[in-house]
Structure 1
């Protein structure tokens, strides 16, 4: 094992990493300053849990059964979110009408899809050809 992982107060705490693993950890999790030493604390988000899970495939970490269950649940949340976004982006999925469009105006299908994607992810970079309407 390359160190330990615990879940405390809504954050992942990574400790007891050997030097070479600590260096790699800071390369993967770029928000950690290069001069810091373990323990490292990362706020829990589904994407961060997925990154931790990936990191642990190369550098296994000790953890309690409760921490392992929390990690699995967060990784599952990440995957469910990715699946929802993939469905929205597929040409087959037609989301319900966009909220906030007042009659008699009507949103085009690409506008409805963009609004649904924004609601799902909380962020969106939107580009279009001139004249299509964002």
Structure 2
């Protein structure tokens, strides 16, 4: 079978690299993958995640590339996992989807069906941009996730100061979902409270919150203080 270049796993298996692509294949690649710089001549690198595995596998059906058997198996595995994830997401979005019971809610508090669907999507994808209209309970959805997923705590919620009061009320109505040692704290125009809050979270979660994360938090706080972002 003719090949139009080569692809392999690099950086300890954390990324894909395409190299030695024929010119017309490289042009087509840039058209289909907009994040590839137009002036790049290769090699071309892609993250090793499920979505890229599916897309790259699809690209190789049109332009086969030379690969080792191990790398081909890794790509196939990523594509299959992506397909399974998509099927699971479609199942969650069905009207008759029945999630597991939620724990930790106060008596008389309920999570609506569409909110439970959103919580399950976060569990599967580890992230979610929720665009519900105002009044549909996005705050309750976030609180429901914190109730339903023990690994989600401790959590830091970033929002405008006026929203903090509403958030605290809603959280206490549903469940005391915030860290009892920290509580809901306002930042208002002073970043010192925010810095103390973040530092306590980093200290409590130092087993996982370290290195680049700590540096990112520090840089964000310094920028906020410098430009008065909380005024």
TM-score if structure 2 supplies the norm length?
Answer: 0.54
Q: Higher helix proportion, which one?
A: 2
The alpha carbon displacement at 1:85 in A equals: 0.2
Distance change (3 Å), C-alpha of 1:104 and 1:85: same
Task: Describe the superposition over 1:17-68 as per-residue Cα deviations: whole angstroms up to 9, x where unpaired.
Answer: 0111001111112111100111111110100010001111111111010110
The alpha carbon displacement at 1:106 in A equals: 1.1
The alpha carbon displacement at 1:132 in A equals: 4.0
Point out where structure 2 has 5 or more consecutive residues left out of the alignment: 139-231
What stretches of structure 1 move > 6 A for 4+ residues in a row?
none
**What is the 5 A alignment of 1:1-134?**
1-9=3-11, 10-98=14-102, 101-121=105-125, 122-128=127-133, 131-134=135-138
Instruction: Quote the residue 2:164 is aligned against.
Output: none
Distance change (3 Å), C-alpha of 1:85 and 1:50: same
- Secondary structure at the residue paired with 2:87? helix
Which structure has the larger Rg over C-alpha atoms?
2
Instruction: Find the aligned partners of 1:60 and 1:97 in 2 and give their Cα distance.
Output: 47
Point out where structure 1 has 5 or more consecutive residues left out of the alignment: none
Range with bigger deviation, 115-124 or 7-16: 115-124
Aligned residues: 133
Q: Higher strand proportion, which one?
A: 1
Instruction: Find the aligned partners of 2:121 and 2:47 in 1 and give their Cα distance.
Output: 24
TM-score if structure 1 supplies the norm length?
Answer: 0.89
The alpha carbon displacement at 1:5 in A equals: 0.8
Distance change (3 Å), C-alpha of 1:90 and 1:28: same
